Amino acid sequence: MTTNDIATPTSDGLTDDQLVVVEQLAIRKAKLRDEKTSIDEEIAAIDTQLRALLPDGTTQAGQLKVIVTVPARLDTKKLAEAFGPAQHPVLYRAAIDTAAVKEHMSPAQLRPFQVAGARTVTVR
């Protein structure tokens, strides 16, 4: 394209130059996604080895500290069995069941209650 040429938009509303940039960005994102998957798998394998090698607690490893913990979480099913809502209503709260709402209301009825999320980008 010369300096006298006018950039004409494609059917997507993008110029050829913009399409080149989009393609480059998509290729880079796909490559990074693949690298991230590989890195995440390697990190998981290292964590598995460290859990097998170390006791719970902190271990000094050169200038780094490796901390192995066993986080505790509440067993809500067991709690509910031991402390039912009739005897302990202060431990419970009412919540709307969005699955039931979607089952019993039409998309048109739900539209006024929808909030737009963040725009997402998918590269396939």
Taking only the tens place, the pLDDT of each residue in 28-56 is: 999 999 999 999 999 999 999 999 999 99
Contact of 68 with 57, CB cutoff 8 Å: yes
pLDDT of residue 13: 87
Contact of 110 with 99, CB cutoff 8 Å: no
92: helix, strand or coil = coil
Q: DSSP states of 61-88 as a string?
A: ETTEEEEE-------HHHHHHHS-TTT-
Provide, for the chain, the percentages of residues in helix, strand and coil under a 3-state DSSP scheme, each rounded to the nearest 5: 50, 10, 40
Residue 1 has pLDDT above 60, yes or no: no
60: helix, strand or coil = strand
Mean pLDDT of 58-66: 95
- Measured CA to CA in angstroms, residue 47 lies from 62, 122, 124 at distances of 17, 29, 30
pLDDT of residue 4: 53
**Annotated domain spans of the chain:** 16-113
Label residue 8 by pLDDT band (50, 70, 90).
Answer: low
Interval 88-123: pLDDT, tens: 999 999 999 999 999 999 999 999 999 999 888 888
pTM: 0.63
